[in-house]
Chain A
Amino acid sequence: MKKLIALVSTLALFAFAGGVGAQDKDKAAEKPAAEAAKAEAAKADEKKEAAPAAAAPAAAAAAPKCGDKGFDCNKGDVSWMMTSTAFVLLMTVPGLALFYCGMVRTKNALSTLMQSFAIFCVVAVLWVIYGYSIAFTAGSNPFWGSLDKLFMLGEDPATAVAATFSKGQYLPDFVYCMFQLTFAAITVALIAGGYGERFKFSAMILFSILWFTFAYLPVAHMVWYWDGPDAYTSAKAADLANSHAGFIFQKGALDFAGGTVVHVNSGIAALVCALMLGKRNGYGKVAMPPHSVMMTAIGTGMLWMGWFGFNAGSALEATGAAGIAFFNTLFGTATAGVAWALTEWLVKGKPSVLGICSGIVAGLVAITPAAGYVGPVGAFVTCAIAGIVCFFAVTKVKAMLGYDDSLDTFGVHCIGGIIGSLGTGTFVNPAFGGTGVYDYVANKVGDFDAWGQIVSQLWDISVTLVWSGGVAFLIMLLLKFTIGIRASDEAQEEGLDLADHGEKAYNY
């Protein structure tokens, strides 16, 4: 009966998504988001602002392609983006998988790997089917895109393009789609830290599908969707383009590679899951040390290396902008590693490997929204603070509040993401060595509004926290009262590896 309800709800989900898409199809003519209309906007003068509506059907015949005048697909950029995509894949499979796996008990080691691997595959499939479309096309509202790119139907791999941050520079859409896929997948996989060692596998998969659809997609759309730089030809065109952009984008928030979209998003969901699932059996009484800090260390190395694709790849081009993101990902991260290790040495007496690994990850998280926006001083301050604050979040605050966030996703990713996001708003200021905010109409860096930027960042953080936390809560509630979410006592006793997967991690 419970399985029937689960099946029906999943089918209803698809029907719902299809219904939303149907509504959007009616308004297709008004949307300049389609590649065809982008071509019009790029070549448009002031008179043509209203033209997209009429031009879309006519322009559809002349889909722009890399190499067309005004649509450059630089081979260096494309190479870099494909490389970055592979790097971000490495971050999840097996970077995050090993990072988390090492921290759980032997009997749950494989279940932790399975979470990362299975989530990656499931999200990858859904991303191509509907995820990319909903996140990265314009919808009838600033929260949810259209189904124009469902299954990438109607897109010619050789010609379909996606915008970068430079006018006239484009990427093959199929490459951009894959790049963003890896972000969606790792975000969902990160939540596993909050529900480790006690989430029933079937419920976990359903949770992941639903949260991906109703939390990740809207937040990604709200923060990152815009019509692209070529739509910003004049003040009027800019206003029109801005009205199509995601809700949080319209608030002026800056999130270079996903400090909020990935880390705050998954972090708050992890906390909600931890609270809804309850603590692991024996938590606080039975010793649960990591079964292999060695694995966690290996995972950390892969995460750091892969993160260069995550941050520097988010520049979407192989330019100096990517260069500063690359710089910060190395420098800022190292700062946080030192900060955490030093703090631990002073407070606890010994600096641990698990500690420096956690510091490194906290730094990576904090620099994520800031990578392409801040200078070295900004990176240093933001990441040093993240290293220290996350240390206390994970050691003191968690113990004080008593929740079982098994692998500290909330303490490192949510808190680190918030610190990074506020650091971005502070240090993007050119006065502190930041890049400032680019004005695509004036085609230069605009005047910087320090307080206004902080307010924008706060919009980003709060909307993400509320939306993601709320959706996670509702999904867990639904699952709790249908198929059940918590692994049985027997399953927890013998370990999820045997109970859910019929495997043992080590056979010696």
Chain B
Amino acid sequence: MKLVTAIIKPFKLDEVREALSGIGVQGITVTEVKGFGRQKGHTELYRGAEYVVDFLPKVKIEAAIKTELLEQAIEAIEKSANTGKIGDGKIFVFDLEKVIRIRTGETDAAAL
């Protein structure tokens, strides 16, 4: 099992969610985050006090998936989150040791 984490542009969330649904990934967790890589921030101006804001709002998606689906999942995210411009984000893949469904106690593959 793998935990796929992706940082994407906020307005791409719906597309990514649909793409993952399409390949059989049924659950994701979404967090609002901020960060930067190569994308430049912006300047805000309040009565002459200029603030350069480096951090940009992003969305983090985490999905626990069966190892067999990994390649498809990565492709789905890559295609749907892509705009071609700097700041599209990154995908991180982690090894997932154990998964438990709280309601039933099912583990690993049965819980995904």
Nearest-neighbour CB distance to chain B for A287, whole angstroms, equals 5
By size class, the interface of chain B is under 10
From A289, A396, A398, A399, contact of B46 by CB (8 A): A289
Q: Are B45 and A348 in contact (CB under 8 A)?
A: yes
Nearest-neighbour CB distance to chain A for B51, whole angstroms, equals 5
Contacts of A398 in B (CB 8 A): 48
When chains A and B are docked, how far (Å) is the Cα of A355 from the Cα of B45? 10
From B45, B47, B51, B53, contact of A350 by CB (8 A): B45
Contacts of B48 in A (CB 8 A): 348, 394-396, 398-399
Q: Are A289 and B47 in contact (CB under 8 A)?
A: no
When chains A and B are docked, how far (Å) is the Cα of A334 from the Cα of B39? 40
Q: Are B45 and A290 in contact (CB under 8 A)?
A: no
When chains A and B are docked, how far (Å) is the Cα of A425 from the Cα of B53? 46
Does B15 sit within 8 A of A, measured CB to CB?
A: no
Contacts of A355 in B (CB 8 A): 47
User: Chain B interface mostly helix, strand, loop or mixed?
Assistant: strand
Contact with A along B37-67 (1 / 0, CB 8 A): 0000000111111010100000000000000
Which chain B residues (68-106) contact chain A, with CB distance < 8 Å? none
When chains A and B are docked, how far (Å) is the Cα of A421 from the Cα of B49? 28
Nearest-neighbour CB distance to chain A for B56, whole angstroms, equals 15
Contact with B along A411-443 (1 / 0, CB 8 A): 000000000000000000000000000000000
User: Chain A interface mostly helix, strand, loop or mixed?
Assistant: helix
When chains A and B are docked, how far (Å) is the Cα of A390 from the Cα of B52? 24
When chains A and B are docked, how far (Å) is the Cα of A290 from the Cα of B51? 11
The residue among B44, B45, B46, B51 with the most chain A CB atoms within 10 A of its own CB is B46
Does A352 sit within 8 A of B, measured CB to CB?
A: yes
Q: Are A352 and B51 in contact (CB under 8 A)?
A: no
Q: Are B51 and A358 in contact (CB under 8 A)?
A: no
When chains A and B are docked, how far (Å) is the Cα of A398 from the Cα of B47? 11
Closest Cβ neighbor of A287 among chain B residues: B51
When chains A and B are docked, how far (Å) is the Cα of A290 from the Cα of B45? 10
Closest Cβ neighbor of B51 among chain A residues: A287
Contacts of A396 in B (CB 8 A): 48
Nearest-neighbour CB distance to chain A for B14, whole angstroms, equals 24
Closest Cβ neighbor of A353 among chain B residues: B46
Which chain B residues (19-36) contact chain A, with CB distance < 8 Å? none
Contacts of A408 in B (CB 8 A): 47
When chains A and B are docked, how far (Å) is the Cα of A399 from the Cα of B50? 11
Q: Are B47 and A395 in contact (CB under 8 A)?
A: yes
Contacts of A399 in B (CB 8 A): 48
Nearest-neighbour CB distance to chain B for A348, whole angstroms, equals 6
Nearest-neighbour CB distance to chain B for A283, whole angstroms, equals 10
Nearest-neighbour CB distance to chain A for B96, whole angstroms, equals 32
Does A245 sit within 8 A of B, measured CB to CB?
A: no
Nearest-neighbour CB distance to chain B for A270, whole angstroms, equals 15
Contacts of A185 in B (CB 8 A): none
The residue among B45, B47, B49, B51 with the most chain A CB atoms within 10 A of its own CB is B47
Nearest-neighbour CB distance to chain A for B32, whole angstroms, equals 13
Does A354 sit within 8 A of B, measured CB to CB?
A: yes
Closest Cβ neighbor of B50 among chain A residues: A348
Nearest-neighbour CB distance to chain A for B50, whole angstroms, equals 9
Contact with B along A359-400 (1 / 0, CB 8 A): 000000000000000000000000000000000001110110
When chains A and B are docked, how far (Å) is the Cα of A433 from the Cα of B17? 68
When chains A and B are docked, how far (Å) is the Cα of A350 from the Cα of B48? 11
Contacts of B45 in A (CB 8 A): 348, 350, 352
From B44, B47, B49, contact of A358 by CB (8 A): B47
Shortest beta-carbon contacts, A-B, top 9: A395-B48, A287-B51, A289-B46, A394-B47, A354-B46, A289-B51, A354-B47, A290-B46, A348-B45
Known: A290-B46, A396-B48. 13 other contacts (CB 8 A): A288-B49, A289-B44, A293-B46, A348-B45, A348-B48, A352-B45, A352-B46, A355-B47, A394-B47, A395-B47, A395-B48, A398-B48, A399-B48
27 A-B interface contacts by CB (under 8 A): A287-B51, A287-B53, A288-B49, A289-B44, A289-B46, A289-B49, A289-B51, A290-B46, A293-B46, A348-B45, A348-B48, A350-B45, A352-B45, A352-B46, A352-B47, A354-B46, A354-B47, A355-B47, A358-B47, A394-B47, A394-B48, A395-B47, A395-B48, A396-B48, A398-B48, A399-B48, A408-B47
